[in-house]
A and B are shown apart, each in its own frame.
Chain A
Amino acid sequence: MADLLRQMPCAADFFTTLGLAIPPAEQSPAAYFVSLDAELLEDLGLEREGLEERFFAFIGLLESLQAGRSNALIESITILGGHDKSGRPEEFDLTIRPGEIVSIVGPTGSGKSRFLADIEWLAQGDTPTGRSVLINGELPDPGLRFSIDRKLVAQLSQNMNFVMDLSAEEFVTMHAESRMIEDPPGVTRTIIDLANELAGERFSPQTPVTALSGGQSRALMIADTSCLSTSPIVLIDEIENAGIDRKRAVRTLVDRNKIVLMATHDPILALMGDRRLVFKNGGISTVITTSPAERANLVRFEEMDARLNAVRHALRNGEMIEDI
């Protein structure tokens, strides 16, 4: 036991999460499970039979988490078109690669969440849309469907809030520890610094996450997801009013080699995308590639946005808004 715990300190979590004492150093796992008091097990809702098997499954899980950091390389995700609600075929095959931005547009209920669910479930023609998903150009391993540490999509949306009673620092550290990465304090510092760069107003590592402003929360979520989430795809759902540097936030994710899917009708964000998927009646009706003319317009939208922001700033400072 002592050897095992030395090599893998996290193995002790198995016992503490089940409410068991850490086994004495000289005892083997099997001997420990045999020695446990029947009444104690009954109280904890555990069965002696199977405990050892569960313990080794847990060790296997830790090993795969540690190994998962290096592999799980995704070079491309391909979505083979299915059909919309009326059965009209979607005429496209879409391949997306890390570092790309794809915008998603269309009214609510037009099939955007089903699209994400198809990716997440690695649809193989077995969902209501009939779409199929390939990874690196090939049929994915079916086990991937249920693997929580290799989930394909991470989500960030306007409705999401922090609910935990922890400081920003404790919060990020807890997330880092659950990922079993090497230097949780270092990563935590990086993430909090990054979040502070993205948020307009600074916050300290000691600020409780529930006390962060909307913009600060969004900034922390983006910084945390870009550094700690294993999911290769990040879905951003309507972050326009968050009061953060939106462009910078999206760039942060792209720089970390994420595929960014953005459901937005904010022209600045939507035109940042290399392509945009137009949803109608439960299906993708068109895939538009952002044209050079659109890109050129983006510059003008940014100017307009900067001007509006200046006015907001002036309002906040109690100035008159007469010359614009």
Chain B
Amino acid sequence: MRLVTVAGPPSSGKTAVTIKAIASLHREGVRVGVVKFDSLSTQDQSLYEKQGIAVTTGLSGNLCPDHFFVSNASDCLSWGKELGFDLLVIESAGLCNRCAPHIQGVLAVCVIDNLSGVDTPKKIGPMLKMADVVVVTKGDIVSQAEREVFAHRVRQVNTSAVILHVNGLTGQGGHELGRLLLDAPETTDLEGKLLRFSMPAALCSYCLGQRRIGSDYQMGNVKKMDFPKGEPCTP
């Protein structure tokens, strides 16, 4: 089975473009399944179902969806193999711009949208910088100049990825994305495989449910800001 991880900031169009790509693959008889990871709730399950796409959802609750995904990655693969898919797509909401579900040897797709502004590519971490395919959406509502500058900025932070424009509404570019997904390498087993980048250390007391503010309540991996020195304001 071929495996793909799809990540991207919230509402960038991950579900929309994945559906368009799969619709094109369905026409060619490719069997595709989707696992959607999100934190609290998601409408995406029903969006996929409406298109006749086999899907299951993992809700991470108080964990980062990407952390939660990694703990369940092998099980996703087993589910996909059991159901006999040719291609399994794992969609994960990138909530902190710093985690990424991307795995070495597994095709990594990042979806970002033109509306998020030309400085966004700089701000997104390994999810974008280590992706193999970068899908840019919502080009239908911004100017040609903005599309060109945005793509250029993506290229600056990820010099090797394939950059593809896909319209999540009309599906323009969806067929082409489908072709790229089918080129993903075969994955038979994830045991022992490496994430492309370590996820941020989430080991402070707040990760473990602490709610009270104050140094007495902070433990573990705590990092302090440096504030500039200055004269107090005179009234």
Interface of A toward B, CB cutoff 8 Å: 13-14, 17-19, 42, 44-47, 54, 57-58, 60-61, 113-114, 116-117, 121, 126-128, 146, 148-149, 154-157, 159-164, 171-172, 174-175, 178-179, 217, 221, 224-225, 228-229
Contacts and interface: CB of A to CB of B under 8 A. Distances in A.
Contacts of B115: 163
A225 B145 CA distance: 7
B144 A160 contact: yes
A163 B176 contact: no
Interface in B29-80: none
Given A146-B162, A229-B148, A160 B143 contact: yes
Contact of A42 (B144, B148, B153, B198): B198
Given A117-B175, A159-B140, A159-B141, A146 B163 contact: yes
B125 interface: yes
Contacts of A45: 98, 125-126, 129, 197
Contact of B145 (A14, A128, A148, A175): A175
Contact of B141 (A113, A160, A175): A160
A262 to B, nearest CB: 15
Contacts of B148: 154, 175, 178-179, 228-229
Nearest to B117: A164
Interface string B190-207: 000000011000000000
B144 A174 contact: no
Given A47-B197, A221-B145, A121 B122 contact: no
A114 B146 CA distance: 23
Contact of B159 (A61, A126, A179): A61
Interface of B: 24, 27, 98, 114-115, 117-118, 121-122, 125-126, 129, 139-146, 148-149, 151-157, 159-160, 162-164, 170, 172-173, 175-176, 179, 197-198
By Cβ-Cβ distance, the 10 closest A-B pairs, closest first, are A45-B125, A57-B159, A178-B152, A175-B145, A148-B151, A146-B162, A45-B126, A178-B149, A154-B144, A148-B163
Nearest to B162: A146
24 contacts: A17-B153, A19-B122, A45-B98, A45-B125, A45-B129, A60-B159, A113-B172, A114-B172, A117-B172, A148-B154, A148-B155, A149-B152, A159-B141, A160-B140, A172-B145, A175-B148, A175-B149, A178-B153, A221-B144, A221-B145, A224-B143, A224-B145, A225-B145, A229-B148
Contacts of A225: 144-145
Q: Is the interface of A mostly helix, strand, loop or mixed?
A: helix
A18 B153 CA distance: 11
B173 A117 contact: yes
Contacts of A47: 197
A45 B98 CA distance: 7
Contacts of A128: 24, 27, 175
Contact of A156 (B114, B144, B173): B144
B179 A126 contact: yes
Given A163-B114, A163-B115, 10 more contacts: A14-B156, A42-B198, A61-B155, A117-B173, A146-B163, A148-B152, A154-B148, A156-B144, A159-B141, A225-B145
B142 A161 contact: yes
Nearest to B124: A45
A174 B140 contact: no
A252 B115 CA distance: 28
B191 to A, nearest CB: 23
Nearest to B149: A178
A217 B144 CA distance: 12
Contact of B157 (A18, A113, A126): A18
A84 B141 CA distance: 28
A17 B122 contact: yes
A164 B144 contact: no
A121 B115 CA distance: 23
A116 B139 CA distance: 14
A155 B139 CA distance: 9
A53 B146 CA distance: 28
A60 B115 CA distance: 28
Contacts of B152: 148-149, 178
Contacts of B197: 45, 47
